[in-house]
Amino acid sequence: MVLSIQSMPAISLPTEEPQQRIREAMQSVFGFGSLRPLQEEIISSILGGRDTFVLMPTGGGKSLCYQLPAVLMPGLTVVVSPLIALMKDQVDKLVTLGVPATFINSSLGYEEARRRQADVMTGKVGLLYVAPERLMTPAFLSMLAAVNLSLFAIDEAHCISEWGHDFRPDYRALSELRVKFPDVPIATFTATATTDVQADIRAQLALRDPFIVQGSLDRPNIRYEVWPKRDSYRSLTGFLASRSGESGIIYVQSRAMADGTAARLTRDGVRALSYHAGLEGEERHARQDLFLKGSVDVMVATIAFGMGIDKPDIRYVVHLDLPKNLEGYYQESGRAGRDGQAADALLFYSYGDAMKHEHFIQEKPESEQQIARLQLTAMVEWAKGTDCRRETLLGYFDEQLLAHPDPCCDACEAPVLEESDQTEAAQMFLSCAKRTGEQFGAVYLTKVLMGARDKRLLGNAHDELPTYGIGRGKGREEWAHIASKLMERGYVKPDAERGNGLAVMPLGDEVLFRREEVWLPKWRDTSHGGHGKPRAARRLQLSAGDSARESIEMFRRGIELHEIASARGFSPVTIEGHLAQGVQSGDVDIEDLVNSEKRAAIEEAFFNSGHPALKPVKEMLGDSFSYAEIKFVRAGMNASSR
């Protein structure tokens, strides 16, 4: 691991007597035989009363760097922490070790909170965990002004920065600590901060000549991989099949998805539980304990789970839904392999997930939208990229990868794809982007190129453009591949000011106006099976009649369901039946018809009803679910069970 210390001037290391005290406390209180790299320097800085800035990877041992000084220093150490679960977990362990620690947060009743504050006032507590919103209240600050303070330790310090991935306004108020307590040193800790965020943290907290410690963020024991989000549950169970008995976390975007996926895994023989903020506090803690003790192998969770979880033997972290930024992804995937043994980080990617995040971004205040879009774009580019994932991830945090471990990631292990001349296709795509005003994304442009009878497209009169229908010779997936490569190589780029529409870059202008050649990796049709014949075509001949096959092929060309019905003279219900056949045969991707959150709820309803009929499930789910969606999901469940 590459480690660096940046400070001017360097601090003095402890004399022999303090060093001995550190070793004794480390062994007698915490039971450690030795410190990890940089821990001694950090602890020395804090014991010397100096402001300290620490950037270390998840699992790097940051908490000991303020817990051990709290044991050795007179007075009170205040730890600012963002999560109730983290506070309780750490305090419980400290109390077990005999350390006089406590927390005060909203989970406590009035009388209990008063009792703990009294313990702080009378010096019975040496280490106090508190959330920033409580810490910065006038009454709480007045209480702290009356006690002997030795240190403010600010955990998850990136939350103070507007450029951070998890900015919290309550953290911003911590800037007043230097004004109100000018003589109390401040130590900050984070595992995820770009160079800009690091500078913002130091400026907001007015750190004075801080001792800066930065460990490498590389986790060489974690192998990174991205899979396309198609039939993701079947892919997930295939991934888990060889990992029976191992601990893992599966992150999803919603509470319903967490509950539905955990229930389905349990029925399929996996020891799984869900975890999210919708559960009562006691239930969340009970489930967390079961996972920590190994009574449950898999925790299916929203991002509410994981921060501060001290379980070293998590062998894999799976993201079934796309995270909204690389900072969050790094932090969550980094919960795997904290024991240093081999671990996996698997991400399922779909363009639809990116669009969901874009929808949420549009609901944010305008002042926050630009940062959120930049972070989302970096996340999407990482997921779609073909360069080394480890190198790209570290590069985002301004760190250079010095050596590639083996194994490293799916991109490093993939065979080098032969490139072919794609100038004509690139010109079609770039021209289409220009002619539509550079206001639309790849999916929309593909519909124009393929001549889809899309309602939005027709409303914009884009069926009258010269580029309308000129790309019918390629399928949706091949156009998606071409669009992805053009974005990766800088021919087009999402423009945040135009709703992330693809803007043609100068490199793209060279192709359009100066006829520069474009060579891209060849598209690999993954639907092909043996004997050189497309697997999808063979299934269609075997499982669908001519009428259904025609509807399925039209849908795969990007034509909407109601447009297929109109063009063929059938009712929409008939076309729904055709597409359901396609889902069951594997020729239509269920994710093109029903989003993952609804799918999980519908699957759960089918399991609970114990009957394959549509009506009971519809009655259970209500008006927000259509019969068509339920029909498609049933077809997908039938396909998965074969």
DSSP 564-630: HHHHHT--HHHHHHHHHHHHHHTSS-GGGTS-HHHHHHHHHHHHHHTS--HHHHHHHH-TTS-HHHH
What's the rounded Cα separation, in Å, for the pair 127 and 18? 20
Q: Answer with the residue of higher pLDDT: 151 or 10.
A: 151
CATH superfamily of 3-215: P-loop containing nucleotide triphosphate hydrolases (3.40.50.300)
Nearest in space to 87 (alpha carbons), one of 136, 129, 116: 129
Q: Give yes or no for residue 531 having a pLDDT over 80.
A: no
Percent of the chain residues past pLDDT 90, beyond the cut? 36
DSSP 374: H
**Is the alpha carbon torsion for 354, 355, 359, 361 positive or negative?**
positive
CA-to-CA separations, 121 to 72, 77, 78, 124, in angstroms, rounded: 19, 13, 13, 8
Question: Is residue 508's pLDDT more than 50?
Answer: yes
Task: Kindly report, residue by residue over 578-628, the tens digit of the pLDDT.
Answer: 888 888 877 888 878 888 778 878 877 776 666 667 877 888 888 888 989
When the pLDDT of each residue in the chain is averaged and rounded to a whole number, the result is 84
In sequence order, what are the residues at sequence separation of 6 or more whose Cβ sits closer than 8 angstroms to the Cβ of residue 209? 7, 8, 50, 51
CA angle 435, 441, 445 (to 5 degrees): 50
Q: What is the pLDDT of residues 206-240, one digit of tens each?
A: 999 999 988 788 999 999 999 988 778 888 999 99
pLDDT value at residue 543: 41
Of 533, 539, 527, the residue nearest 583 (C-alpha): 539
Q: Residue 639 class from Cβ within 10 Å (0-12 exposed, 13-18 middle, 19+ buried)?
A: middle
- pLDDT tens digits along 315-328: 999 999 999 999 88
How high is the pLDDT of residue 539?
A: 35
pTM over the 0.85 mark? no
- What average pLDDT does this structure show over 120-143? 91
Please report how many Cα atoms fall inside a 13 Å half-sphere around the Cα of residue 601, on the Cβ side.
18
Tell me phi and psi for residue 612, to 5 degrees: -80, -5
Is residue 273 within 8 Å of 296, Cβ to Cβ? yes
Give yes or no for a contact between 599 and 631, defined as CB atoms under 8 angstroms apart: no
**In terms of pLDDT, which residue wins out, 362 or 245?**
245
Q: Which amino acid is at 17?
A: E
- Provide mean pLDDT across the span 461-489: 89
Secondary structure of the chain: what % helix, strand, coil (to 5)? 50, 15, 35
Instruction: Return the SS3 of 468.
Output: coil
**pLDDT of 420:** 84
What are the DSSP E strand ranges found in 149-271?
149-154, 186-190, 211-215, 222-228, 247-251
- Tell the CATH topology of 222-413: Rossmann fold (3.40.50)
Statement: residue 308 has pLDDT above 70: no
pLDDT digits (tens, 9 = 90+) for 286-304: 998 899 899 999 999 988 7
Fold match flag (3-215 vs 222-413) = yes
pLDDT interval class at 448 (50, 70, 90): very high
- Closest to 330 measured CA to CA, from 1, 587, 21, 60: 60
pLDDT at 640 over 60: no
List CB contacts of 323: < 8 A, sequence separation 6 or more: 251, 303, 329, 332, 347, 379
- Sorted by sequence, the CB contacts under 8 Å of residue 530 that are 6+ apart come out as none
For the domain covering 532-640, report its CATH number: 1.10.10
* Domain 419-521 classification at class level: mainly alpha
Dihedral sign from CA coordinates of 116, 121, 126, 128: positive
Cα separation of 329 and 596, whole Å? 20
Average pLDDT rounded to a whole number, residues 273-278: 90
pLDDT value, residue 384: 83
Give the start-to-end residue ranges of the domains of the chain. 3-215, 222-413, 419-521, 532-640
Beta bridge partners of 78: 128, 152
Lowest mean pLDDT among 70-74, 119-123, 570-574: 570-574
